[in-house]
Amino acid sequence: MSKKIKVLIAKPGLDGHDRGAKVVSRALRDAGMEVIYTGIRQTPEQIVATAIQEDVDSIGLSCLSGAHNKLFPKVVSLLKEKGADDVLVFGGGIIPDEDIAGLKQAGIAAIFLPGASTEETIEFIRKNVKTA
């Protein structure tokens, strides 16, 4: 029996728009994954604590507030600090092209822009999670 892929979908930052996060959550569920959804306005500290307790394989961060350059890398560095840097982190939301390289350098494995299909995200997770 193979272990189910478990993903935390989290919304850091102060914007209250969670439609995108919910669409992704449902798509991942429909692809057979178990999705933890924690709602809007989560701090990086809360997100990482949740990811560790839930022992997720991947974290998807959605941010529309424009604070992604601060919040996404913070999540990655906190994971490292807690020895949980095997968790695959990806991001989505309204993110300018010129920010993407910097985010990838900071350890965000992929960025999905608003036009991206949910299939791409599913594919990406399946290919890249380290399931035991």
Partner 1 sequence: MEDLVSGLLAGKVRSLAKAITIVENDLPGKREILQRVYPRTGNAYLLGITGPPGAGKSTLTDKVIAHLRGRGKTVGVIAVDPSSPFSGGAILGDRIRMQQHALDDGVFIRSMATRSHLGGLAKNTVDVIHLFDAAGKDVIIIETVGVGQDEVDIVRIAQTTVVVMVPGLGDSVQISKAGVMEIADIFAVNKADRDGAEKLVNELRAMLEMVKSEIKPEIFRTVATDGVGIEELVAGIFAHGRRVEESGLVAKKRCLQAENELKAYIYDMIMERITSLGGYDEIVRQVAAKKLTPMTGVEKLFAGLGIAQEE
Residues between 12 and 31 with contacts to partner 1, criterion CB under 8 A: 25-26, 28-31
Nearer to partner 1 by C-beta: 12 or 95? 12
Q: According to CB under 8 A, which one of 42, 58, 62, 121 is a site residue for partner 1?
A: 42
Please say whether the beta carbons of 7 and 59 come within 8 A: yes
Residue (of 98, 39, 46) closest to 71 by Cα position: 46
Residues between 109 and 128 with contacts to partner 1, criterion CB under 8 A: none
* Residue 22 Cα distances to 8, 25, 78, 82, angstroms: 12, 5, 25, 28
Nearer to partner 1 by C-beta: 1 or 98? 1
Token pair for residue 29?
């569920």
Taking the C-alpha atoms of residue 49 and residue 17, their distance in angstroms, rounded to an integer, is 22
Q: According to CB under 8 A, which one of 83, 105, 115, 127 is a site residue for partner 1?
A: 83
Q: Which residues bind partner 1 (CB under 8 A)?
A: 1, 3-4, 25-26, 28-39, 42, 45-46, 49-50, 52-55, 82-84, 132
